[in-house]
Amino acid sequence: MSLRPESGRLPAAYLTPGSSSFTEFVGAHAPELLPGRRVLPPGVLEAPHGTTIVAVAFEGGVLMAGDRRATMGNVIANRDMEKVFDTDEFSLVGIAGTAGLAVELVRLFQVELEHYEKIEGTLMSLEGKANRLATMIRGNLPMAMQGLAVVPMFCGFDTDTQVGRIFSYDVTGGCYEEHSHHCVGSGSVFARGSLKKLFREGMNQDAAVRIAVEALYDAADDDSATGGPDVGRRIWPTVGVVDVDGSRFLDDELVAAAVDAIIDHRRGNPGGAR
Amino acid sequence: MTAGMPFYVSPEQLMKDRADFARKGIARGRAVIVVAFDQGIAFVAENPSRALHKVSEIYDRIAFAAVGKYNEFENLRVAGVRYADLRGYSYDRSDVTARGLANAYAQTLGTVFTQESKPYEVEIVVAEVGSRPEQDQIYRLTYDGSVADEQGFVAMGGGAEQIEAGLREQWQPGMSLADVLHLGVGLLAKDLAGGPDRELGAAQLEVAVLDRNRPRRLFRRLGGTVLERLLSSEDPMTQVPAEDDTP
């Protein structure tokens, strides 16, 4: 890699007009830095896995929440991992699957969006961002076939139509727009069941936080790889919100309050019947 | 005279010719001022275009300003963004520094000046804002790859000498944003031929700041009503408001 060429001058590739994509630039100039370009030895590798992410659209925005557990087989590899990230001013990404690759992919995606914004002098459209992420997942297909799959979920605020939107992906890079809510990861089956019953059209942000955290609670109840709220250590789910004011993460106190309310409600009512 | 017959040109003459050529190109354009204020570094350019920028963001704490030939400094700007993003991605965001970038630009400009058929007709500034004013850095790079570490302010482009003389006289550390903008715009508006000052309103100006109080990405363009109020004497505003206006 020629980050510091011998003469110290910027290499010709840097000065060549053309792509405003960081991934394309790195692919041409320093391909070994891209996760999808690595050649892996045959065989299946065991590496930490991140688990459940849920997204819920509400009036004027969308939120994404993730549990904090990473597992490796039957072992808890990490209990306070972050799996929801803000990728630019108006978008969030949550990732389930191989944790190391997922974090690397998110970092690359964050730089990709900022790089485009700086070079072009304007934000990429929401569909543009969703498609860029699909391209990156597609590039990871060889790794997915060796057991290192990464499955993201993308949420953003559409500044043209003023609504929050959710995009899901499959391992081959297929990108699909979801409506109202969506879940990925090992506990997603249980979280989806929970959201189906709890979601209402036109909910406000507080109500959406409550049902997203409750869906993660339900996922953790039935899926050993999803971490429930850790009251003893005070580790709460990560909750990111994106609306007209941009993307941000909720303070721990707010999430803790939602968790406390759920735990109260579930006392003597473990299924959360209403 | 036979075509193709080589003439001897002394290296001194060759370099002087190239330098004159570059200097002439640079002096033709309107000036850009880079000036420190208490909360960061401000960039003021006379530039009626909203699309072709002379001032841009490079990285979290680093910005770029240029005068001269647009296609040449635009190439350098894009190269700077690529350099910074690649470095930050493969090391860490904190490993991207204005000093490193200024060095890479200096080597590039120096090589082009001596080895290519014509030098770049540009002058650029790479500025980085620190968490305290003493840590702010302003590097000025000229067409031949010379680098100067400037204190407080820089003016480049047409009339730069007169503007710098004015800044030397009136600028002092710890001025507010409104004060440095008034000073900068006043100096840009001076007529070099000695005529009356020109009117420079928000629409003729490109203004941006590296604001040390912002989170992570400190670069911000100022325009529209925010800039009008910063420049106005009736409805004054001395600092940038916390919330963003639309770019």
The interface pTM score, or ipTM, of the predicted complex is 0.90
Average pLDDT over residues A50-64: 95
Yes or no: say if A169 and A176 are a contact pair by the CB < 8 Å rule: yes
> What is the structure's pLDDT at B194?
79
Model confidence at B247, in pLDDT bands (50, 70, 90)? very low
Residue A154: Cβ within 10 Å count: 28
Residue B13, judged by CB atoms within 10 A of its CB (0-12, 13-18, 19+), counts as exposed
Q: Which of A9, A107, A111 sits opposite B107 (nearest CB)?
A: A9
Average pLDDT over residues B125-145: 96
> What is the structure's pLDDT at A178?
96
Size of interface A-B (CB pairs under 8 A): 65
* Chain B residues contacting A via beta carbons under 8 Å: 51, 53, 56-58, 75-76, 78-79, 81-83, 85-90, 103-105, 107-108, 110-111, 217
Residues whose CB is less than 8 angstroms from the CB of residue B219 and which lie 6 or more positions away in sequence, other chains included: B56, B57, B63, B208, B209, B210
When scoring B89, B101, B144, B244 by the number of chain A Cβ atoms within 10 A, the one with the most, hence best to mutate, is B89
A44-48, A51-55, A65-69, B128-132, range with the lowest pLDDT = A44-48
> What is the structure's pLDDT at A2?
44
A111 three-class SS: helix
> B58 to chain A: which residues are within 8 Å by CB?
118
Model confidence at B8, in pLDDT bands (50, 70, 90)? confident
A161 is catalytic: no
> What is the structure's pLDDT at B246?
43
- CA-nearest of B196, B176, B191, B193 to B237 is B176
Measured in degrees and rounded to the nearest 5, phi and psi for residue A66 equal: -135, 145
β-bridge pairing A84-88 and A91-98: antiparallel
Give the total residue count for chain B.
Answer: 247
Model confidence at B236, in pLDDT bands (50, 70, 90)? low
Average pLDDT, chain A: 91
Model confidence at B5, in pLDDT bands (50, 70, 90)? low
Average pLDDT over residues A191-219: 96
What's the pTM value of the predicted model, to 2 decimals? 0.91
When scoring A118, A123, A244 by the number of chain B Cβ atoms within 10 A, the one with the most, hence best to mutate, is A118
Task: Quote the CA–CA distance of B106 and B110 in Å, as a whole number.
Answer: 6
Residue B239 has pLDDT above 80, yes or no: no
B242 three-class SS: coil
Identify the helix (H) or strand (E) that includes residue A195.
helix A188-198
Q: Which residue of B has its CA nearest to A30?
A: B86
Residue B244 has pLDDT above 60, yes or no: no
- End-to-end, the C-alpha distance of chain A in Å comes to 60
Average pLDDT over residues B152-161: 94
A226 three-class SS: coil
- List A51, A52, A71, A87, catalytic entry: A51
| Top-confidence residue, A45 or B89 | B89
